[in-house]
Amino acid sequence: MSEIFQNIPFVQYEGTESDNPFAFKHYDAKRVIMGKSMAEHLRMAACYWHNFCWSGSDVFGANTFDRPWNKPSNPLEAAKLKADAAFEFFSKLGIGYYSFHDVDVSPEGSSLKEYIRNFSEMVEVLQAKQETTGLKLLWGTANAFSHPRYMSGAASNPNPDIFTYAATQVFHAMNATHALKGENYVLWGGREGYETLLNTDLKRERAQLGRFMQMVVEHKHKIGFAGSLLIEPKPAEPTKHQYDYDTATVYGFLKEFGLEKEIKVNIEANHATLAGHSFHHEIATACSLGILGSVDANQGDAQLGWDTDQFPTSVEEYTLVTYEILKAGGFKTGGYMFDTKLRRQSTDLEDMFHAHIGAMDTLALSLQRAVKMIEGETLSKLVEQRYAKWNDTLGSDILSGKLSLQDLANYAVEHDLDPKPVSGRQEMLENMVNGYIYP
């Protein structure tokens, strides 16, 4: 195995004084802050697909990346060279985790049997790589959307054979994730959605999807997989409407099929904004429902209507998000996974490093700011005070179910209620937040 990223050193923390573009300015992996190392708080992962499978094409143009690991004509050989490249990259970057789809790491082959054989062989390769490098698997998943057979969905396909094909992939991808000690298994609803309502039976497709997820839960328990199962919401793209639209929609679906204790969400920043929400909103909603699992840490373009999967650069945004996650107790099995791709014009191998270093520093700095917000306590106390009257008799009696609508109507007249609103103090709170971000 020869070195692929030849002129690039192992990336180290050098602090803000450094002007070395291949060093971290803020991410000091082992530095302990609020009881845990930065690495343990952030649990950052790099992805296989955008970094090692995508070659820089877009809808209007051909590949612009010319990667050495795509050269071998033998698929398994190429997969192994790709694994070499991937683990060299992950290691030099000093990131603790990685994530993959089945077909990112292993060639599909020309039959299911070949798919299974290839996958099994590549899992051994990955196992060996993990041992050598110390890398860990944040999550695995199956790609049930790229092959033409999935053009009309996988679990929600009008053809049960295709449902079965997808189930087979998920079965093997779950087993692989388990074997590789993955800490989560993710289900992104690739093409589970519709292109036109004219040929779609929503109720039937939802039932198919519900049963699929129940099978996944049952299988998890059967094999004793200790990680979390996660659904990743997205509102559209590739389909016109995706069933896992956003966190609130997924929650309703989980409740409908009795899965709300079994499955959590993997929230992607850019999917949140495509759904018309702030990223902060999606995280806060998931936390308030108790279903936050993991985060696909990226950034969209506020002017574009598709998933741009950019590397996160906004400390202003990630501080608020990290604050929310810390308030909810921090990541358990999840982490910040970079579902991010280079701009198509960033064609050099070293751009992969610039991009990830910038992203990791953005999260590290956001973590530091968010910890100060937690430790400062001012923000959370102001929120508590705002609702303080709900701890008094009237408030408690309302929430406990003691009082009826009529009781309240009587109470209001008896007390001749005329409550006055009080300032919400939004601008003052925003100043406080900026005080933490720009100390």
Residues between 156 and 215 with contacts to its own copies, criterion CB under 8 A = 158-165, 167-168, 170-172, 174, 190-191, 195-204, 206-208, 211, 214-215
User: Which parts of 308-367 interact with its own copies (CB under 8 A)?
Assistant: 311, 313-316, 320, 324, 342-348, 351, 354-355, 357-358, 361-362, 365
Q: Which one of 31-39, 70-78, 79-87, 109-117 is the stretch in contact with its own copies (CB under 8 A)?
A: 109-117
The upper half-sphere exposure of residue 346, i.e. CA atoms within 13 Å in the direction of its Cβ, equals: 17
- How many whole angstroms separate alpha carbon 245 and alpha carbon 157? 18
- Per the annotation, the verdict on 104 as an active-site residue is yes
Rg for the chain, CA atoms, rounded: 24
Touching its own copies, residues 379-398 (CB under 8 A)? 379, 382-383, 386-387, 389-390, 392, 394-395, 398
142 near its own copies (CB under 8 A): no
- Helices 279-289 and 315-327 pack at an angle, to 10 degrees, of 0
Minimum distance from CB of 164 to its own copies (Å)? 5
Answer for which of 111, 131, 224, 329 binds its own copies (CB under 8 A) is 111
Label the pairing between strands 263-268 and 292-296. parallel
Binders of its own copies in range 235-294 (CB under 8 A): 235-238, 240-241, 245-246, 248-249, 251-253, 255-256, 273-278, 280-281, 284-285, 287-289
Smallest separation, CB 140 to its own copies (Å): 15
Nearer to its own copies (CB atom), residue 83 or residue 274: 274
Is 84 annotated to bind ligand? no
* Complex with its own copies: residue 116 or 130, whichever CB lies closer: 116
Q: Which residues pair with 36 in a beta bridge?
A: 33
Q: Which is nearer to its own copies, 136 or 206 (CB)?
A: 206
- Say whether 271 counts as a known binding-site residue: yes
| Three-class SS state of 289 | helix
309 is in an annotated binding site: yes
Q: How far is the CB of 334 from its own copies (least distance, A)?
A: 19
Buried residues in 146-160 as b, exposed as e (16+ CB within 10 A): eeeebebbbbbbeee
> For 181, left (φ over 0), alpha (ψ -120 to 50), or beta?
left
Residue in 64, 91, 120, 127 binding its own copies, rule: CB under 8 A:
64
- Minimum distance between the CB of residue 132 and its own copies, rounded to whole angstroms? 28
CB of 129 to its own copies, least distance (A): 26
Q: Does 430 bind its own copies (CB under 8 A)?
A: yes
Q: How many residues bind its own copies (CB under 8 A)?
A: 160
Give whichever of 130 and 433 is closer to its own copies, judged by the CB atom. 433
232-248 b/e (C-beta count within 10 Å ≥ 16 → b): bbbbbeebeebbbbbbb
Between 181 and 381, CB nearer to its own copies: 381
- The answer to the question of residue 417 lying near its own copies (CB under 8 A) is yes
Applying CB under 8 A, does 102 fall inside the site for its own copies? no
Min dist. Cβ of residue 357 to its own copies (A): 7
Alpha carbons within 13 angstroms on the beta-carbon side of residue 45 total 27
Token pair in block for residue 31: 């530095």
3-class SS of residue 137: strand
Q: Which of 28, 84, 102, 104 is catalytic?
A: 104
Min dist CB 160 to its own copies, Å, is: 4
Interaction with its own copies in 5-24: which residues (CB under 8 A)? Answer: 16, 21
CB 156 within 8 A of CB 208: yes
Structure tokens given for 181? 């000690």
The rounded distance, in Å, linking the Cα atoms of 182 and 3 is 27
Binding-site string for its own copies from residue 31 to residue 60, where x marks contact by CB under 8 A and - marks none: -------------------------x-xxx
- Any residues with CB less than 8 A from the CB of 9 and at least 6 apart, and which? 22, 92
411 binds its own copies (CB under 8 A): yes
Q: What is the DSSP string of 55-99?
A: -S-BTTB------GGG--SSHHHHHHHHHHHHHHHHHHHT--EEE
Residue 130: helix, strand or coil by DSSP?
helix
Of the candidates 220, 227, 218, 231, which has an alpha carbon nearest to the alpha carbon of residue 190?
231
Instruction: Report the binding-site residues.
Output: 232, 268, 271, 296, 307, 309, 339
Instruction: Report the binding-site residues for Mg(2+).
Output: 232, 268, 271, 296, 307, 309, 339
Q: Which residues are catalytic?
A: 101, 104
